Structure 1
Amino acid sequence: MEFAEEMKNRAFAALDAAGIATIGPRTLACDTEQAEAALAEIAGQGDIDLLLIIQITFTDASMTIEMARQSNVPVAIWGVPEPRIGGRLRLNAYCGINLAAHALGKAGLGYRWLFSSPDAPGITDKLTGLAASSTGSAVSVERFELEADAVADRVVEKLGRARISVIGEHPAGFDTCEFNANELHELTGISVDRVKLDDAFEKAKSAPAERAIAHRAEAAKSLAGLDDVDQEQLDRSFRLLCALEDIADENKADSIAVRCWPETFVDYGCAACGPMAMMNQAGVPSACEADVYGSATTLMLQELAGEPVWMADLVDVDETDDTAVLWHCGLAPLSMCDPEAQAEATIHTNRKMPLLHQFPLKPGRITLARLSQAKNEKKLMIAGAEVLRAPMAFTGTSGVVRFDKRVADVCTTIMDEGLEHHFSLAYGDHLGSLRQVAKRLNLPVLQIA
């Protein structure tokens, strides 16, 4: 909270220095009631020209949507970056404005946006431009001619008979994870089974002890630090892995999507990240936050790459060195670990429970994709990038990447298009086959890099 308070104060100082008059409270709004009170205070002070929502930390998009709907003026969202120092991702503001942009776009609400430090060079011009600018313009999608591609044929055939088990409901305010099972089936042929979260927990609790012990012994071959975390919580993690395996086996699921928080922490007592990472490694792509379209995309990429895949958030962009950071708590499969680093067992940075993987990604060529519903139009987003060998940016699993286009342009497209905050990735260059998969599914392609 201290860092968030500091960044909030610096943001208001930048607004003052830019000569932009503001009304409303200058305190952090940490819950719905505080946000509603802030909006009421603003409404009681007369007409305004712009509603600026300063996204100091990650939040879901529910209050942003509510404030935008109540406002009769343009809306802008401003997120602030944080240093890549290998510690916990304290703010995660970029992911927050990404989530908000998607929700606003899906609701048909216009928005302006900024991702910049309050102390960045040219911040005054950026802020005055934000106050005066119009909403971003859409990027043209592409359609490609049908070409012979045996790999694309195989992927489409695989999707046409695939099953996804979704465990629990997606979190409130995560419009990025909404899905319609019938629409997904019509588009890809994928069938979706629903599993209650409590049923998954009961399966975990009843898992044989020897099976959980065997999973721990296998994990100890690659993960350092298993003895350094809470052992009861660690045992629950391996029991949850057993439950996920059983659900996938019983439902003949090719991929799963899991409501991984908060219930796994508060109701069951461990983190789901490590077990889901192990499912990824075992060839059952696993998506956080019950993101079914993300799960479908990871399955698509796994079939293309023939190796484990991962779904991550884009959490930071740095125009000074033209890089970005892909991160998720601790979900990456062990095969993606940089061979010069030691994979570690760790705890969730917020909930302080195991099991998570922790390591930087190995360097190499990657392809990113997202079966997207941004602005209520289905499309396939694709991008090419390179993972750079770099120190671990944040705790958990993360990679520093350089896109095939300038990171500023990539960021602009993501935000203007209101793309989802989850991106699936696989090592290798699969852009050509992805275009042909899209053609076979009658989907337009949005290539952002």
Structure 2
Amino acid sequence: MTAATAQRRPRVVVVPTARPTFAVDVAAQRAAEARALLEELGADVTGPTDLVMTPADLERAAALPLAEADLVVNVCASFSDASPALRLYADLETPVLLWSFREPGPVGDPLWLNSLCGANLFGHALVVHAGRVPHLLYGDPGEAGVRAALGAALAGRLPVVPDLPTTVGERADDAGAVREALDSLRGRTLGLVGDAPPGFTPSQYDPDLLEKLFGIAVEQITVEDMFAKVAAVPEAEGEQEYAAALAAQPSLASVARAQAGTAACVTSAMRGWRDDADLSAMAIRCWPEFPTELGACPCSSLSRLADAGTPTACERDVYGAVTMSLLEALGSGTTYLVDTVDLDADANVVRLWHCGAAATSLAADPSAATQSVHCNRKLGVAGNFPLRTGPVVMARLTEDPAGGLRLLVAAGESLPEPNRFQGNTAAVRLDTPADEFVGALVGHGFPHHTVLAWTDVRPALRTAADELGIPVIEFSATPTKEQS
């Protein structure tokens, strides 16, 4: 801030974003505490006091004098898609601080806020689609470190966006085997259901780039087309699938029979489409239409297909599905698409989660991989179990702001702990500073989804990136070679 700014109270616009499917009472309380702390620290605070959740709320926020502020603080009171980020900040020169909170709920509850994931999604949209550099503040208003960071931000010293690493590990000894794996992807077809969900910028993709780099074609149908396939499943076939799912996981009996029956028909319809169209992987627009119009969630269907060897990605995440396909072609075994939802910097742990579509083979104890209702929608059927422990790799193909794709790679160890959040959770102690990793995810515009694998295929993955001409950004404890 300028010398003139130092002579007056810094002008701060606070925009608290949220989504109605989360704990909005807790989100509103945290947002009010955040605003009060900024005022206590001497800021002249304006902006809506109510949560910004609807299109009308967003348009009222867009009328605020954002350009006249010294700092805009987007309080990610709960998860939100990236629509507010693009509507409010895409053309704004004022610095933007994304403030996300810790998860307050008890072990085993749904994510009350999913605030960090919301900030991650905002960061991707602003960096990749607007060329902006957002700054992340993580923690609750009562924390001393948060208070200090806010005081510095009001004085013009925003949280530092960590530098991206410039070195990567060793390549595969057998480059020929990697080329064979890449060749095995060519000619495959990825099945897409629906368009990208609104405000989910990582779910957008370039079909020409997909064909050029990987030789993967796309077959896309609408959500309505999929619903027609579900409706056409013969009653006997749906009953047979329900019986098979119940035999595999007896806990399914606790889910309302009508919802579980609909989910069984979804599984049968997706399996039939996969077979008829010779699909090698699938990316599904899993909400809002499945719960709101069909009356069931497709998480368990994606899990059933994944257990049968078909990579499945929710939220119609195309590059996520391609990352899964690449890893599995390189020998990773079954993988899972996850959000980064929680950071414990003292323990160097991030918690990776999604709402219940993991293959049951990835459970810490597959025999106890229970099935339940979806954590937010309260409809069946979704898995509810912790993920497998042991060494893990995180990877993600995503847009490079410089053009083309880039590859994010990290690694660590999945630790044994109770299922922290309803759905599927892994607590991963990273090989790199966890706070820097999370800060880079947001500040450098990486997607909220990464792919988790339990076999270390990093040497082959690096070689594959070399073959494809894709730059690697690797968070590693022992990088050994400059990225060319």
Alignment TM-score > 0.5, same fold: yes
User: Structure 1 regions of 5+ residues with no counterpart?
Assistant: none
SS in 2 for 1:375: coil
Q: What residue is the counterpart of 1:27 in the other structure?
A: 50
1:36-94, Cα deviation, whole Å (9 max, x unpaired): 22342445xx9320111111111111111111135342222111111362101111111
What do the CA deviations read for 1:337-382 (whole angstroms, capped 9, x no partner)? Answer: 1128721111112221111011001211111111111435411111
Asked if 1:349 corresponds to 2:375, the answer is yes
C-alpha distance in structure 2 between counterparts of 1:130 and 1:330, whole Å:
38
Could you list the per-position Cα deviations for residues 70-127 of structure 1 after superposition, in whole angstroms to 9, with x for gaps in the alignment? 5342222111111362101111111101000000001212322212111223222111
How far the C-alpha of 1:448 sits from its partner, in A, is: 2.3
Does 308-317 or 143-152 show the bigger shift?
Answer: 143-152
Residues 112 and 130, structure 1, Cα contact 8 Å, conserved in 2: no
The 3-state SS of whatever aligns with 2:180 is helix
CA shift, 1:133, in A, is: 3.1
C-alpha distance in structure 1 between counterparts of 2:119 and 2:294, whole Å = 30
Aligned to 1:280: 306
Detail structure 1 runs of 4+ shifted over 4 Å in the superposition. 140-147
Q: 1:62 matched to which residue of 2?
A: 83
Question: What do the CA deviations read for 1:311-345 (whole angstroms, capped 9, x no partner)?
Answer: 11111111122211111110110011112872111
* 1:98 alignment partner in structure 2: 120
Distance 1:53 1:317 in 2: 19
Superposed displacement of residue 405, structure 1: 0.8
Deviations 1:148-186 (A, max 9, x none): 335422321122222101111011111111101111111
Question: Are residues 105 and 163 of structure 1, via their aligned partners in 2, closer, same or farther at CA, if it must alter by over 3 Å?
Answer: same
Q: Please give the secondary structure, in 2, of the residue aligned with 1:289.
A: coil
Partners in 1 of 2:241 and 2:449 — Cα distance? 28
What does residue 122 of structure 1 align with?
145
What is the SS of the residue equivalent to 1:301?
helix
Alignment of 1:406-417 (within 5 A): 406-417=433-444
Residue 371 (structure 1) aligns with: 397
Q: Which one is further off, 354-363 or 119-128?
A: 119-128
| In structure 1, distance between residues paired with 2:153 and 2:402 | 26
Amino acid at match of 2:89: A
Residue of 277, 283, 303 corresponding to 1:257: 283
2:260 matched to 1:234? yes
Q: Which shows bigger deviation, 251-260 or 148-157?
A: 148-157
Which has the larger displacement, 420-429 or 303-312? 303-312
Contact kept in structure 2, 1:105 and 1:374, CA below 8 Å: no
Look up the SS of the partner of 1:35 in the other structure.
helix
Amino acid at match of 2:349: T
TM normalised by structure 2 equals 0.88
Residue in structure 2 matching 1:88, options 110, 115, 135: 110
* Percentage of identical aligned residues: 28
How do 1:283-362 and structure 2 match up within 5 A?
283-305=309-331, 307-339=333-365, 342-362=368-388
Aligned residue in 1 for 2:14: none
Matched residue, 1:18: 41
C-alpha change, 1:19 and 1:224, in structure 2 (3 Å) is: farther
Residue 98 of structure 1 contacts residue 418 of structure 1 at CA under 8 Å; is this kept in 2? yes
Counterpart of 1:40, as a letter, is A
* Alpha-carbon displacement from aligned partner over 1:4-51 (angstroms, at most 9, x marks no partner): 1221122123223333331223221221211322342445xx932011
Kept in 2: contact 1:104–1:111 (CA 8 A): yes
1:218-261 CA distance string (max 9 Å, x none): 22234242222111111110101111111211221110110000
1:443 to 467, 470, 477: 470
Q: TM-score, normalised by structure 1?
A: 0.94
How far apart, in 1, do the equivalents of 2:166 and 2:263 lie?
A: 42
Cα distance in 1 for partners of 2:145, 2:281 equals 46
Q: Which residue of 2 aligns with 1:133?
A: 157
Q: Using the TM superposition, give the Cα deviation of residue 413 of structure 1 relative to its aligned residue in structure 2, in angstroms.
A: 1.8
Q: How many residues align?
A: 447
CA distance in 2, matches of 1:150, 1:11: 55
